Amino acid sequence: MTRSVLAGVVVALLGIAGLLRATVTSGASGAASSITVLDAWVRQPVPPGTQAAAYFTVRNDGPAADRLLAVASPIGAATVLHAVRNGTMQEVADGVVVPAHGSLRFAVGAGHVMIEGVSRPLTAGEVVPLALTFERFGTVTVDARVVGYLDPAPSATG
């Protein structure tokens, strides 16, 4: 087995196991940066085929703040960023800042990405792709595990 094929198999297995984290080490601006997306998961919608909420943590180890502009997923017709502003959950059209050397956490009660028009039933345990687009650092694609609607939210490590 060639080295590149073996590396591809290892990456695929880590992704399936949910152990692979997405990192961008050089952004669209060309500046050295590090955006890491951790603990991505999607709540199974009730009833199936309506809306699903996605949660994750974005860590920015780079020297400049960035802005999460949008999140897309092929499982839905559209996505909307929601964050708590002035004590109220609100739609965010202008993106959300990820501070330099800091993090941004989308968690139950603290913001989420609403995936609208979910195109099919989601099964607990399956993995769905999310593409996060940042103002400076481009797009990062991660796999998010579907968590059953009655199951507890996963604990964050980031």
Question: Stretch 132-152: mean pLDDT, rounded?
Answer: 96
Let me know if residue 25 belongs to a domain: yes
Closest among 53, 29, 8, 19 to 142, alpha carbons compared = 19
pLDDT, greater one: 21 or 3: 21
Question: Stretch 130-135: mean pLDDT, rounded?
Answer: 97
Let me know if residue 14 belongs to a domain: no
Closest among 68, 55, 46, 69 to 118, alpha carbons compared = 46
Question: Stretch 88-105: mean pLDDT, rounded?
Answer: 94
Question: CATH number, domain at 37?
Answer: 2.60.40.1890
Query: Strand 32-43 relative to strand 52-60: parallel, antiparallel, unpaired?
Result: antiparallel
Domain tally, the chain: 1
Question: Stretch 81-94: mean pLDDT, rounded?
Answer: 89
Domain that holds residue 92: 21-147
Let me know if residue 116 belongs to a domain: yes
Let me know if residue 75 belongs to a domain: yes
Residue 16's contacts (CB-CB under 8 Å, 6 or more residues apart) are 127
Let me know if residue 37 belongs to a domain: yes
Q: Computed from CA positions of residues 59, 63, 69, 73, in that sequence, does the dihedral angle turn out positive or negative? A: negative
Let me know if residue 11 belongs to a domain: no
pLDDT, greater one: 127 or 49: 127
Cα(58)–Cα(40) distance, rounded to whole angstroms? 9
Residue 48's contacts (CB-CB under 8 Å, 6 or more residues apart) are 118, 120, 121, 122
Q: For 6-46, how does the pLDDT look when each residue is reduced to its tens digit (9 = 90+)?
A: 333 333 333 434 433 444 434 444 444 589 999 999 999 98
Let me know if residue 157 belongs to a domain: no
Q: How many angstroms from the chain centroid is the CA of residue 121?
A: 20
Let me know if residue 3 belongs to a domain: no
Least confident of 20-24, 63-67, 109-113, 141-145: 20-24
